[in-house]
Amino acid sequence: MVDFTIIVANIYINMKVTIITAVLNCVGYIEDCMISVQSQGYRNLEHIIIDGGSVDGTLDVIEKHKDCRTFVLSEADLGMYDALNKGIAIAEGDILGILSADDKLADDNVLSAIADRIKIGDCDAVYGHLNYVSRDGRGVIRRKWKSKPYFRSCLENGWMPPHPTFYVKKSALEGNTFYALNYGTCGDYDFILNLLYRKQIEAVCIDKTLVYMRKGGMSNGPLLNVLMSWVHDYRILSDHQIPRPLRAVFLKKIRKLKQFRISAFN
């Protein structure tokens, strides 16, 4: 007689983690990103790198540092979220997460902490803390995004977990959950609301810094990007039928202010 308890236990023990990185002309940072993945103590992983057609030497760096757990696809795409969707479609992991080409995992135990928490079996996703660091590579912390456990009402009041720290079981995506391409730089917000608010999957907070994110990324750039993010956030909230979407947008932006408690002179 087959012992299904043992089979299920082995599935959880052997969970593979897939990290998806979208990259385009990021020669100065992709090395740090790849090394932070390859240095993980949790060995059952794959790193899918989707390159949009880099011409600055990025592909040479990737080729230099890739190992047997690295899969690289280089072709034209419709932007970052299209690239991430390609990664999701081919991912073999049981747990999926996103790591931008100019970001890195905070330490060598990040994936172990993520996998160990999901292996408990009471959640479909986890998230943790995020540190924004200086873009010059010195690693000076400029901003801290400290996460917390949440309720459904938190989502209605503009709260969201930091997307770079969000790892979800592939089975929770139900084969058709991808990033929308019509919300500018805010496709990650739609992705998270779709999972946590509309589908109501269970996600838990890990009290640990999981990612160092360099400031100056796609959603932290020119003023026009910032202004458009307000518009896209409102559309996303409205599309998910969240009450008082304008209020939620305002609260979402206000929440970020408390992340800037680090001295500007650090």
- Tell me the pLDDT tens digit for each residue of 96-141: 999 999 999 999 999 999 999 999 999 999 999 999 998 876 678 8
Mean of the per-residue pLDDT values of the chain: 90
Q: Enumerate the β-bridge partners of residue 22.
A: 50
Instruction: Give the closest residue to 50 by CA, choosing from 6, 82, 12, 18.
Output: 82
What are the residue ranges of helices labelled H in 151-255?
Answer: 152-156, 187-193, 223-239, 245-255
Can you list the domains of the chain with their CATH numbers?
4-259 (3.90.550.10)
Q: Enumerate the β-bridge partners of residue 125.
A: 168, 203
Residues in the chain: 266
User: What does the pLDDT look like over 191-250, one tens digit per residue?
Assistant: 999 999 999 999 999 999 999 999 875 555 567 788 899 999 999 999 999 999 999 999
Give the Cα separation of 166 and 260 in Å (integer): 21
Q: What pairing do the DSSP bridges indicate for beta strands 17-23 and 95-98?
A: parallel
What pLDDT shows up at residue 222?
67
Q: How many angstroms separate the first and last alpha carbons of the chain? A: 63
CA triplet 226, 23, 130: central angle to 5 degrees? 55
User: What does the pLDDT look like over 99-109, one tens digit per residue?
Assistant: 999 999 999 99
Full-model pTM: 0.90
Instruction: Give the closest residue to 85 by CA, choosing from 7, 20, 174, 154.
Output: 20
Q: Which pairs from 60-63 meet CB under 8 Å and 24+ separation?
A: 60/27, 61/27, 61/30, 61/31, 61/34, 62/23, 62/30, 62/34
Give the Cα separation of 189 and 195 in Å (integer): 10
Give the Cα separation of 227 and 237 in Å (integer): 16
Element (H, E) at 30: helix 30-38
- List phi, psi (to 5°) of 18: -105, 125
Instruction: Give the closest residue to 169 by CA, choosing from 121, 124, 206, 202.
Output: 124
Q: At what angle do helices 30-38 and 58-65 cross, to 10 degrees?
A: 20
Element (H, E) at 72: strand 70-74
As given in the structure block, the two tokens for residue 194 are: 């779709």
Give the Cα separation of 6 and 234 in Å (integer): 47
